[in-house]
Amino acid sequence: MTSEWTSSPREVLLSIDRDRPLRAQLERELRDAIRTGRLAPGQRLPSSRGLARDLGISRGLVTECYAQLRSEGYVVTRAGGDTRVSGDAGRSAAPAVVDAPRRRPRIDFRPGVPDLSSFPATEWSRAVQHVCRLLPVERHGYGDPAGSAVLRTVLAGYLGRVRAACAGAASTVICSGYQQGLYLTLHALAERGLRTVAVEDPGDAECRVLAAAVGLDAVPVPVDDDGIDVSALDATGARAVIVTPAHQSPTGVVLTPARRRALIAWAGARDGVIVEDDYDAEFRYDRSPVGALQGLAPERVVLLGSTSKSLAPALRLGWMLCPARLLDAVRERKRLVDRGAPAIDQEALAHLLDTGRYERHLRTVRRRYAQRRAALVEALNRHAPRVSLHGLAAGFHAVARLPDGLGENAVVAAAAERSIGLHGLNGFRAVSDPTAPARLVLGFGNVTVDDIHDGIATIADLLRPS
């Protein structure tokens, strides 16, 4: 965000040698700070009185110095008396840091991105204000690294009611989104001596990277139309697995009841741990979502949830329900990493949950995603009827199976030429397979109904075999 006048830095670090002429030094220090960008255009300089006091020099000397810099064009003085760095002050030494221009597609069907415009900013800021008014002063210090007792209690009640989870405040840990929850879990597992963790294939590439980062080998296990293949999982010999049962990322398959039972039996037989990414559970369209696996085997399952899809990724708030045997390690790691999630945000989330506003918001965005989902189905039916869509029961992405004869990479590249962002399933495979049937993972969470129609119409000919 740029503005002509930024907020003021009331203090500025200047070094003055009292044995040398003060005014020349002060001018030089300020010029250098402006040239190198340490003082940015629009920034307010300290008042002459304040700077004189801080440096222990006379106010007149500072006023003269500001007048000199004004005459050289480095600073301007506004009617109210503010002295600020002028917009076009010459900077030379510091090269400007400029983001490389990124070519964003005009319409991007990137999966995993929620409707960013739907963040309930007014509700959130009201909740923050409410918390700031009422939070006792002693809670402004460091809290329990596992999270606010209020949020853990409210959340445990919510997860028990809505996800049929077996939840209590004591087993709940608040983390910075799913990603940190996964890191804390994998770290705890590695500490307990585990060397491998099984992951879904195709699946989330990031969890393979995270596993490697804590020294675990990620072993891919195939996913079919029923979800993860539990016999193949058993054959790996791994004693931990990361799964997305509510809406598999990226195939969109919902783990069938038989597979759920088999997975829990596997964990019992292997003394294993299931890491349940409760991905997209909030957004089931055809019926209520199935309960979390964690509710069936709380001592075998770590449940990970997040506000990234329900509110916004920018909040970086998530939760974990931990089996007793991992709880201490997770909590201690959380303390070491960041001493706990931000207290005010935690209380604000607790307030939204407690007042029912969180669920009201979910109902609103669920309707919006349902409209976008319907638009995608309609647009493909109209423009590319030979493309079949799968994995639409929940969430805001689906897998499009392209007709024989079409190449996944070729379609993605040709669409990019028309500024339409498409994403192939190959990017989610443990090992890219150019011979695999062509599939696209179409995210529609952050694409409006009009853009869905426009985007599919723009690439319609690419989705038909010639």
Ligand X SMILES: Cc1ncc(COP(=O)(O)O)c(C=O)c1O
Binding footprint of ligand X on the chain (CB under 6 A): 112, 177-179, 204, 244, 249, 277, 279, 306, 308, 313, 318
- Element spanning 418, H or E: none
For ligand X, the closer of residues 33 and 199 by Cβ is 199
| Interaxial angle between packed helices 205-213 and 177-191, expressed in degrees from 0 to 180 and rounded to the nearest 10 | 40
Residue with tokens 């001493």: 339
Least distance CB 277 / ligand X (angstroms): 5
| Measured distance between the N- and C-terminal CA atoms of the chain, rounded to whole angstroms | 47
- In 318-461 the beta strands, taken as DSSP E runs, fall at 318-321, 388-390, 397-401, 420-421, 439-443
Least distance CB 244 / ligand X (angstroms): 6
Sequential DSSP letters for 77-139: E-TTS-EEE-TT----SSPP--PPP----SEE--TT---GGG--HHHHHHHHHHHHHHS-GGG
**Is 219 in contact with 197 (CB distance < 8 Å)?**
yes
For ligand X, the closer of residues 320 and 422 by Cβ is 320
For ligand X, the closer of residues 255 and 462 by Cβ is 255
How far is it, in rounded angstroms, from Cα 419 to Cα 408? 17
Nearest to 248 by CA among 360, 369, 390, 383: 390
For ligand X, the closer of residues 84 and 152 by Cβ is 152
For ligand X, the closer of residues 120 and 252 by Cβ is 252
At 156, list the tokens.
Answer: 């445990």
Nearest to 114 by CA among 293, 244, 279: 279
Least distance CB 253 / ligand X (angstroms): 13
**Is 310 in contact with 362 (CB distance < 8 Å)?**
yes
Which residue type sits at 29? E
Least distance CB 396 / ligand X (angstroms): 11
The SS3 call for residue 447 is coil
Task: Return the ∠ at Cα 447 (arms to 442 and 451), rounded to 5°.
Answer: 100
For ligand X, the closer of residues 74 and 109 by Cβ is 109
**Is 316 in contact with 178 (CB distance < 8 Å)?**
no
Least distance CB 394 / ligand X (angstroms): 13
How far is it, in rounded angstroms, from Cα 391 to Cα 247? 8
Question: DSSP code of 428?
Answer: G
How far is it, in rounded angstroms, from Cα 61 to Cα 380? 73
Strands 107-108 and 420-421, bridge-based pairing: parallel
Residue with tokens 């740029």: 2
How far is it, in rounded angstroms, from Cα 220 to Cα 45? 58
For ligand X, the closer of residues 203 and 323 by Cβ is 203
State yes or no: cis peptide before 245, omega within 30 of 0: no
